[in-house]
């Protein structure tokens, strides 16, 4: 049955319009209905914007009242907390290629061991942020638009840049 929901999601449901299109709330609920049935864990009142890609969903968990932004691309073991706000075009990849050997082309070295991504509660992820493997974003943090996050950050952090670094603290 999961494969039928996945097929329906990727062939039709993901393309349904979003706000401000009339009836957008119905389309949000329809996407939620399908996504809840394919991902590992899906909280209550989750919003899935259009064209989100998450593979077969078996390693993705999303907390209550969180959002996946338009065109999000999520790959690997990813845990998203409660009340997470995500802008469009966010990429999270918990997987990577091996490249240690110079005598073998990179595309023949296989994959590195998967390293999970964990997003805490009440996090705002800006437009076109890229989060790489083994990153933990502390609760109540903000990631500035366009940031490439290669390292974890503490709760209440505001991070940005390429690579992302601490810009300031929300609680100081």
CATH number at residue 35: 2.160.10.10
Task: Tell me the C-alpha distance between 85 and 37, whole Å.
Answer: 21
Percent of the chain residues topping a pLDDT of 90: 90
Region 5-24: mean pLDDT is 94
Q: pTM to 2 decimals?
A: 0.93
Q: Flag whether pLDDT at 49 surpasses 90.
A: yes
- Supply the pLDDT for residue 116: 98
| Residues 94 and 113 sit within 8 Å (Cβ to Cβ) | no
Catalytic residue among 2, 41, 44, 97: 97
Contacts 24+ apart (CB under 8 A), 165-170: 170/140, 170/141, 170/142
pLDDT tens-digit series, residues 97-137: 899 999 999 999 998 899 999 999 999 999 999 999 999 99
Q: Which helix (H) or strand (E) holds 141?
A: none
Structural domain range at position 37: 2-169
Q: Flag whether pLDDT at 172 surpasses 90.
A: no
The domain total for the chain is 1
Burial code of 129-139, b = ≥16 C-beta within 10 A, e = fewer?
A: bbbbbbbebbb
What angle in degrees, to the nearest 10, is found between the helix axes of 2-11 and 24-36? Answer: 150
| Residues 27 and 48 sit within 8 Å (Cβ to Cβ) | no
pLDDT tens-digit series, residues 52-96: 999 999 999 999 999 999 999 999 999 999 999 999 999 999 999
Region 18-43: mean pLDDT is 94
Across all residues in the chain, what is the average pLDDT? 96
* 140 given a catalytic annotation: no
- Supply the pLDDT for residue 71: 98
């Amino acid at each position: 049955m999961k494969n039928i929901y996945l097929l329906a999601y990727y062939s039709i449901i993901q393309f349904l319009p979003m706000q401000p299109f009339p009836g957008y709330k119905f389309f949000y609920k329809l996407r939620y209905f399908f996504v809840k049935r394919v991902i590992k864990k899906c909280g209550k009142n989750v919003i899935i914007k259009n064209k989100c890609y998450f593979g077969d969903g078996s390693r993705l968990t999303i907390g209550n009242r969180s959002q996946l932004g338009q065109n999000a691309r999520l790959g690997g073991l990813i845990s998203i907390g409660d009340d997470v706000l995500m802008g469009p075009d966010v990429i999270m990849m918990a997987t990577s290629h091996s490249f240690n050997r110079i005598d073998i082309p990179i595309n023949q070295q296989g994959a590195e061991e998967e390293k999970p991504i964990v997003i805490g509660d009440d996090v705002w992820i800006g437009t076109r942020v890229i989060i790489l493997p083994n990153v933990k974003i502390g609760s109540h943090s903000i990631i500035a638009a366009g940031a490439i996050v290669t390292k974890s950050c503490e709760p209440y952090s505001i991070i940005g840049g390429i690579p992302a670094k601490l810009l300031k603290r929300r609680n100081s």
